Amino acid sequence: MRERVITLALLMGLFFGVLVLAMGAREWRSPGNQQGYAPEQPIAFSHRLHAGELSIDCQFCHVAADNSRYAGIPTSDICFKCHKFVTASFAAVMDERKKAAKEKREPAPVVSAELKKLYDMMGLDDQLKPQDSTGLKPIPWVRIHELPDHVLFNHQAHVQAGVACQRCHGPVETFERMYQYETLSMGWCVNCHREVNRTGVSGKAVHASIDCAACHY
């Protein structure tokens, strides 16, 4: 009898152990691999809308990608290039216009909730006039793509070789919220380097080094 109880207890323990492991396995990834990381951002910026629907070129905002190691998170003034004029969705603006026309008044400026955050960061009031009290604050974007410190990745080298942004960042133009598409593991980098040495990049022969010192120094 006692043996049975013990056996039963052990079996249950095993079952739950396996269950916990199985549940963990879904979250498990090789150490350092952040694939699929999609943190909530301070402003719900949609790449799908900007890069997909509106077909804005990546480097319109990520200006440094072709001349610097960093692609560059866009500065607020780049957003303001368009969002000086576009303050809310077309539908919202039209709604307000209709409502204003109905109520026989000047349409009030419409600012969407997300863009409001941008303007707050830029220290602008509802009329997009600079507020005196607050200066320009950087937007604390949550970093998604981050290589370990001992890897030196250079955007310029890749962009100039003709590597499409999507090759590493995935079909960003379909992402509502940005996430890490690839594993960004060393093997993933190396295999691409090997492959392009055979196939070339967009029809152009390239020499992608697989020396250690290409990335580690």
Partner 1 sequence: MSHVDQELRPPLVLGDKSLGDITDDIAAPMAATPSTLWWVGFGIAFSALVLGVVAVSYQIAVGIGTWGLNRTVGWAFDITNFVFWVGIGHAGTLISAVLFLFRQKWRTAVNRSAEAMTIFAVMCAGIFPLIHMGRPWLFFWTLPYPNYRGPLWVNFKSPLLWDVFAISTYLLISAVFWYVGLIPDLATMRDRTQPGLKRSIFSFLSLGWNGSARTWHHYETVYMLLAGLATPLVFSVHTIVSMDFATAVIPGWHTTIFPPYFVAGAIFSGLAMVLTLMLIARKTMRLEDYITVSHVDRMCKLMLAMGCIVGLAYCTEFFIAAYSGNAYEQFLFRNRALGPFSWAFLTMFSCNVIIPQVLWFRAVRRNLFAVFAVAIVVNIGMWFERFVIIVTSLHRDFLPSSWSYYIPTSIEVATLIGSFGLFFTCFLLFCRVAPAIAMAEVKGVAQVKKPESLRIPQPEEAVA
Partner 2 sequence: MNDKPDRTRVTGEPPGAETVSAAAHDSRWQFDRRRFLEAAGFSLSLTAVTACTRRPVQHAMPLGEMPDSFAPGKLVSYAATCNGCPAGCGLLVGVRDGRPLKMEGMPEHPLSRGGLCAVGQALPIALYDRHRLDGPLRRGKPAQWESIDRAVLQELQAIRESGGAVRLVTGTRTSPTLAAIISAFLGQFKDGKHVVVDPVSCSSIRAAHHSTHGASRLPRYRFDRAAVIVSFGADFLGTWISPVEYAAAWRQQRIPTVEQPQMSYHAHFEPQLTVTGSKADRRYRVTPQDYTTILAHLAKRLGALPLPKNMPSLDSVGSFTAGDLKTLARRLQRAKGASLVVCDSQDLVAQQLVNAINEQLGNYGKTLELDRPSFQRQGEDAALADLLDELEEGVVAALLVADVDLLHDLPESSRIRKGLKKAQLVVSFADHLNETARVAHCVCPESHLLESWNDFHPVGGLVSLSQPTIRPLGKTRTLLECLARWSGSASDDRTLIRQHWEKAIRPRATDPGADPVAFWDNAVQLGFVEIEESPQPAGYSAPGQLELASVSRPDEGYTVLLYAKTGMPESRHAHNPWLQELPDPVTKVSWDNYVCMGPSTAEELGVGEGDIVELSVDDVKLELPVYVLPGQHDRVLGVALAYGCPGTERFAQVGPSWLEARPTVPNGRPVGRNAAPLLNWQGKSLQRVRHGVSVRKTGRRRPLAVTQLYHSLKLPESIAAYGAPDRSDIVQSTTLEAFRADPESGKPEVHVDANLDLWPPDHPKSGHAWGLLVDLNACTGCSACVIACQSENNIPVVGWDEVRRQREMYWMRIDRYMQGEDDDLDVRVQPVMCQHCDHAPCETVCPVLATVHSEEGLNQQAYNRCVGTRYCANNCPFKVRRFNWFNYRHDSDRENLALNPDVVVRTRGVMEKCSMCVQRIEAARVEAKKEGRAIAEGDVQVACQQSCPAQAIVFGDLNDPKSRISQLAKDPRQYRMLEEYGFQTNVGYRRIVRNREGGAESTGHHS
Residues that bind partner 1 (CB under 8 A): 30, 33, 183, 185-188, 190-191
Binding residue for partner 2, selected from 53, 146, 176, 195, defined by CB under 8 A: 146
Instruction: Give the single-character DSSP code of 27.
Output: H
Is residue 66 within 8 A of residue 156, CB to CB? The reply is yes
End-to-end CA distance of the chain: 66
Here the tokens at position 77 are 């003034």
Q: In angstroms, give the least distance from the CB of 30 to partner 1.
A: 5
**Site for partner 2, residues 70 to 99, rule: CB under 8 A:** 70, 72-78
Q: What are phi and psi of 111, to 5 degrees?
A: -125, 125
Q: Computed from CA positions of residues 50, 51, 57, 62, in that sequence, does the dihedral angle turn out positive or negative?
A: positive
Collapse the DSSP code of 124 into the 3-class scheme (helix H, G, I; strand E, B; otherwise coil) and give the result: strand
Closest distance to partner 1 from the beta carbon of 63 (Å): 32
Binding partner at 7 among partner 1, partner 2, none, C-beta below 5 to 8 Å by kind: none
CB of 198 to partner 1, least distance (A): 16
Q: Note whether 42 and 138 are within 8 A (CB).
A: no
Among partner 2, partner 1, none, residue 203 binds (CB under 5-8 Å by kind): none
- Rg (C-alpha) for the chain, rounded Å, is 25
Contact mark string toward partner 2, 43..62, x via CB under 8 A? --------------------
Indicate whether 153 belongs to the interface with partner 2 (CB under 8 A): no
The one-letter amino acid at 198: R
Q: What is the rounded distance in angstroms from the CA atom of residue 190 to the CA atom of residue 136?
A: 41
1: exposed, middle or buried (Cβ count in 10 Å: 0-12, 13-18, 19+): exposed
Q: Which residue lies nearer to partner 1 by CB, 160 or 191? A: 191
The option from partner 2, partner 1, none interacting with 188 (CB < 5 to 8 A, set by class) reads partner 1
Under the binding rule (CB under 8 A), the answer on residue 149 touching partner 2 is yes
Q: Which stretch binds partner 2 (CB under 8 A): 32-40, 45-53, 99-107, 170-178?
A: 32-40
20 binds partner 2 (CB under 8 A): no
**Choice between 33 and 166, CB closer to partner 2:** 33
